[in-house]
Amino acid sequence: MEVKVIDVQVGTYRGLNVEAKDETSYINGLINQIIANSFYVLDEEDVANNADRIEQELKIRLEKEKKSVGAFCYLNGIIEDELNEYCADEYARGKVEDSILLTIARLESITVNETDIILQKAQRIVSNDKIVFNDELDEESIHMAVLTKKILQFLMAENTWVHV
């Protein structure tokens, strides 16, 4: 799905200090700081349309998993009337994050070559306690996974993780 970010200007993404207890918290904190330092304009119509779609998909998934929407909302600190707004915020956050990371890749000439793709295909991805072989993913998904990994490695090397 195409990223519907009308404009993005990436702010400071080097020399940041991020307090975190583990690598996942470090990466999330780093991305949060970069987003806070950046300017972006979203296509609000795209966000609204996709929020409706995501909300419906979430409700179907929760029903299949025999989980209630109310419980999901409670765990995420929202009330059911705020679910669509929550979905819109999550969608928008993902699109902004994708756009900022792709802009950093372009600015820093971070690319993916055929060797990267071959190495990624040779590896297994463990997700949700299920092993998924990379050949089950389309080429674009593999390319984006490798590119994202390279961008995050670059960002981790250019910033400071303050262990807490």
pLDDT tens digits along 110-128: 999 999 888 877 775 544 4
Q: How far is CA 121 from CA 53, 109, 125, 134, 146, in A?
A: 31, 23, 9, 5, 10
Position 35 pLDDT exceeds 80: yes
CATH of the domain at 132: 1.10.3120.10
Per the structure, how many domains does the chain have? 1
Domain that holds residue 20: 5-163
Entry pTM: 0.80
- Return the bridge partners of 131, or none: 126
pLDDT given for residue 66 in this prediction: 96
